[in-house]
Amino acid sequence: MEDDLIISLTRQVKEEVVENYLLERRLIDLQMEHLKSRSLEVRRQARIAGLRLARLSILAVSPGMQSRLWEILGIKTNSFWTYCMNVEFKGKVRFIRARALTRKARFRKVLLESYSRFYSWTNQYKTLYEDLAKECLAVNRNIDSFHKNFDLLSILNFIRNLDMHVLDKKKILGDNFTAKEMAELDKSLYISQISMEKLDLPAPLDLPECDSIRGKILNLADEIFLRHPEEVKTILQ
């Protein structure tokens, strides 16, 4: 009688562990779904900033001047941001209009204002990226805690020994498993940590402030105007 009571209590405890496991796992799944949903918004912000960089690239006119621009802004080649410099953005981002006495002065203003707007949008992206990175760290801590609190193989062994009536009643995981199936199930149910790389988000740029590179931007504008006057004229029309 006493043994039956111990067995019954043990079973109840184990069933509660299984239920807690499923509940905690569902909570983590919801947190990860939220992260992925947020990452779509953050990625959209990256594309918006990228379009402003594409506008700057078009203003630079030629590959040589574009390379000079990369150097000034500290943008590495073969990155999301250098890809953005080749993106076609007409119809998505309007050209900036500026008033000045000469075409050269107008072009200088346009290039400066284009960088200012790119800098602003990039910083907005950086803020969103860093906030999401903090959320990733919090979720990863929850994942670590989950793995420490639950021994999945022990839980699977317990489920394996439940009769089909109980399995059907509780709707937990399914039929009995072979040893190989349980190992595969353990592997497939393991929750991997999430990272910004897995969310496919480019690292934000650490751009120089507008005032700190004003002279370099103006010098670049003058050189572009000198080398490509007809292209600049077309851009400013």
pLDDT in tens, 55-78: 888 899 898 998 899 899 988 877
Domain count, the chain: 1
Q: Is the pLDDT of residue 215 over 70?
A: yes
The whole-number pLDDT of residue 23 equals 81
Task: Report pLDDT for 113.
Answer: 92
Stretch 194-199: mean pLDDT, rounded? 86
Decide if 32 contacts 135 (C-beta within 8 A): no
Q: What is the pTM of this model?
A: 0.76
Mean pLDDT within 82-94: 66
Amino acid in the structure at residue 74: G
Q: Which residue has the higher pLDDT, 148 or 104?
A: 104
| Average pLDDT rounded to a whole number, residues 35-44 | 93
**CA angle in degrees (0–180, nearest 5) for 122-130-66:** 25
Region 104-119: what's the mean pLDDT?
Answer: 92
CA distance linking residue 31 with residue 35, whole number of Å: 6
Domain that holds residue 26: 2-236
Structure tokens at 215: 């002279």
Q: What is the mean pLDDT of residues 129-138?
A: 94
Question: What's the pLDDT band for 193 if we cut at 50, 70, 90?
Answer: confident
Position 148 scores a pLDDT of: 79
d(CA 27, CA 35): 13
